[in-house]
Structure 1
Amino acid sequence: MAGVLFGIGVGPGDPDMLTLKAVKAIKEADVICLPKAEKDKCVAYQIALPAVPEIRYKKTISLDFEMTSDTVRLEQIHGEFYQKYKQLLIEGYNLAFLTIGDPTVYSTFGYIMKLAKKDGIEVEIINGITSFCGSAAAAGILLSEGEENIHIISGQGNIDEELKLSGTKIIMKSGKNISAIKEKLIPLEEADRIIVYAVVDCGKETEQIYKGAMMIPEACKYMMTIIIKEK
């Protein structure tokens, strides 16, 4: 009987924010899969370790997932990595793929899950607290009230149209576009139309919270979430 591939969200950064279900699944998994070649440098692993110390003794597959916009190359990479998991699954081992935040939001696990499902392998997603929920709590704000909408936006492209949407806007994956994003947000804030919050390294000891688009650091921060509230 084939094993199960678990996609496990470990939350945004604080080990105490792992769910009981996530802790149980990690403890029971035969193999831990990490999206980083050196597990000691893998953020998801470091988040899980204090909550599940047993993880250090488990068999681990650590692979570097290359970041590229080349869809052909990306498909090749994911296919190659999946083949390393597939044989173990066929042999009946349960694999736990750890991911920061939640597996359903901008997660590398999604690509692996699709390939596993094509092969008829059972997949189970175990949710984690998202970075935007954790960031809102850290900033002491609500994401929405009443009938207010919430929009999740990728900061990788042109966001002019998305910023016109009504309700709360959450920008993820801002990366190297942070300067361009700030240029769009500052005039809106100066016109007293929005309030901008940014949280870096949510839940970690290095967590930083900024209020105001002007205050957002321009140095590229992978673990940054921007929340835009309408006035």
Structure 2
Amino acid sequence: MTQNTKLGCLYGIGVGPGDPDLITLKALKALQKAPVICVPQAANRRDSYALSIVKDYVTPEQEILRAPFPTDDAEGAARVWREAAKLVIERLEKGQDVAFLTEGDPMLFSTFSYVLAGVQEMCPQAPIEIIPGVSSVMAAAASSGAPLVTHGQRLAILPAAYGLEDLSQATDKFDTVVLMKVSPKIDETLADLKKLGLTGQSTYVRRVSTDREKVIKDVTKITPEDMDYFSLLIVKNDSAGNYAKEN
């Protein structure tokens, strides 16, 4: 970066759960004016899901910078995200704004958080703007037609894909528990729900807001064909308030 070059701005943009119409106006404006678009991309996929959501808003003149998903190994993951942050910083130091896209919201279980940390560490003077998006949690509640929580109730959002040691403890403490990316753990989760007597108070949602969306309110009818990486389970516990009163 030359002495007179102004640093570009890093935009963390949530593009929503899948429906292109759910991107906010502010996010769309930032996306369309950025000369560089950075997208997370899994190694086993041909394209980025976040980019596919907004593909109709992207122009050929915009550079697409692809940041590969890291491995499950903690040390390897840190290295991959650090390299992704370096790629972003290279563009920022050229004076280019970079729009980092992530499905849902950029501050909720998002790949953006890792790149954000790297940029803040290695280029702390870089301007950053984070634009919230519609998360799959909120979209799933809308599609299911049931409020997540009402006045005085408590909500927990947990990453089921990485294991949930004690579902009973979570459902005791919170009126609603949302399990993100639940498909890999669906069998053991359904077994736990049956033991807890919460099967009838659970709703499974996959690919919310897309043409592949499916809402299953009778979770005993979930089939292998219903499984999807982008899935979640909303578990309600009407008696959870007793825990709060006793503690």
The TM-score with structure 2 as length reference comes to: 0.85
* Separation in structure 2 between the aligned mates of residue 48 and residue 159 of structure 1, nearest angstrom: 38
Contact 1:198 / 1:210 at 8 angstroms: preserved in 2?
A: yes
Specify the alignment match of 1:216 in structure 2: 222
Aligned partners of 2:80 and 2:111: how far apart in 1?
11
Q: CA deviation at 1:186?
A: 2.4
Residue 215 of structure 1: how far off its partner (Å): 2.6
Q: Is the 8 A contact 2:198 2:235 kept in 1?
A: no
Structure 1 gap ranges (5+): none
State the alpha-carbon separation in 1 of the partners of residues 30 and 53 from structure 2: 15
Provide, for residues 165-203 of structure 1, a one-character-per-residue CA deviation record: whole Å limited to 9, x for no partner: 231111113242222111111233xx3686101110001
Residue 17 (structure 1) aligned with residue 25 (structure 2)? no
CA contact (8 A) 2:14 2:101 kept: yes
Q: Which residue among 10, 35, 39 is the counterpart of 2:40?
A: 35
Sequence identity (%): 29
Structure number with larger C-alpha Rg: 2
Distance 1:230 1:98 in 2: 35
5 Å-filtered alignment, 1:12-91, equals 12-36=17-41, 41-50=47-56, 52=57, 54-68=58-72, 70-91=73-94
Report the Cα offset of residue 67 of structure 1: 4.2
Q: 1:211/1:67 Cα in 2 relative to 1: closer, same or farther (>3 Å)?
A: farther
| One-letter identity of the residue aligned with 2:103 | I
Q: 2:151 aligns with which of 143, 146, 156?
A: 146
Taking structure 1 as reference, are residues 124 and 206 closer, same or farther at Cα in structure 2, changes over 3 Å only?
A: same
Q: Sort the Cα spacing of 1:198 and 1:30 in 2 relative to 1 into closer, same or farther, 3 A.
A: same
- Equivalent residue runs for 1:45-194 within 5 Å: 45-50=51-56, 52=57, 54-68=58-72, 70-118=73-121, 119-120=123-124, 121-155=126-160, 156-157=162-163, 158-160=165-167, 161-188=169-196, 191=197
Q: Structure 2: 5+ residue runs without aligned partners?
A: 1-5, 239-247
Provide the secondary structure at the position in 2 that maps to 1:82.
helix
Is contact 1:194–1:230 with CA below 8 Å preserved after alignment? no
> How many residues are treated as equivalent by the alignment?
226
Kept in 2: contact 1:153–1:162 (CA 8 A)? no
- Return the alpha-carbon distance in structure 1 between the equivalents of residues 115 and 170 of structure 2: 29
Q: What is the CA deviation profile of residues 38-87 of structure 1, one whole-angstrom value per residue up to 9, with x for unaligned ones? A: 9962211111123x2x444411112321341x211111111112111111
The alpha-carbon distance between structure 1 residues 94 and 178, as it changes in their structure 2 partners (threshold 3 A), is: same
What is the aligned-residue RMSD (CA, Å)?
2.0
Give the alignment's TM-score, normalised by structure 1: 0.90
2: CA distance, partners of 1:47 / 1:192:
34
Task: State whether residues 15 and 104 of structure 2, in contact with CA within 8 Å, keep that contact through their aligned partners in structure 1.
Answer: yes
In 2, the alpha carbon distance for the partners of 1:129 and 1:56 equals: 26
Whether the aligned pair in 2 keeps the contact of 1:33 and 1:95 (CA below 8 Å) is: yes
